[in-house]
Amino acid sequence: MLAEEALGGPAALRATPFQTVAGGAYRVAILPGRYALTQFNRAADRVSQSTDVVRSRVLGLKGKAEGLGDKATQFTETAADVARAGVNAGLRTSEGKARANSQSAGENIHEARRKVGALDADELPIKNYGELSAGAAAEAVKNLTKAEDVRTVVRHEEAHKNRSSVVSAAQTTLARLAKEAVNS
């Protein structure tokens, strides 16, 4: 599977009629979760757009009011953090409610959270990740054996702490895993 991904993905296959029907049923089952995710994404996008507008207007006034631009930048970053936290909390709540109705729907929302880096540190494949220093986190990433686990840590890292040494170690680990998959 890693080798296929390293080479650009698997060859195109045509779905069987059963797979087509199963895919349609799957899309119907995850519809509530997808709707909730879409609504949260729209809200986050609106906040992001409005903070960009505020930032550009305030930065235009920077020459007139010294230090106001820095405060506006800090405000917009805080607003973006609050919006991100709201989206993440909403997704966690949606996941819990979806799991109560359908295990597969809950798993699909969890997968969406994983893909956008919205998992909490205790949900990552590395134990006590939130407490690790950058060096310890980079070493822990090097010990992962699944590419998807490495990608999950990278998404979390980029969304939260964004430590370049951890992301670099993860990229090196992904390259190693791809090379091992091709050679085996």
Q: Answer whether residue 138 shows pLDDT above 90.
A: yes
Task: Assess whether 86 and 147 both reside in one domain.
Answer: no
pLDDT at residue 168 in the model:
92
Backbone angles phi, psi at 56, to 5 degrees: -65, -40
Section 60-80 average pLDDT: 63
Domain check: are 26 and 113 in the same one?
Answer: yes
73 with 113, same domain?
A: yes
Q: Within 10 Å of residue 8's Cβ, how many Cβ atoms?
A: 7
Assign 62 a pLDDT band (cuts: 50, 70, 90).
low
Average pLDDT, the chain: 79
Q: Tell me if 12 is assigned to some domain.
A: no
Confidence class for position 26, pLDDT limits 50, 70, 90: confident
Asked if residue 159 and residue 100 are part of one domain, the reply reads no
What is the domain extent for residue 28?
Answer: 17-118
- In Å, how far are 141, 163, 176 from 133, measured between CA atoms? 12, 10, 23
- Which positions ≥6 away from 154 have C-beta within 8 Å? 167, 170, 171
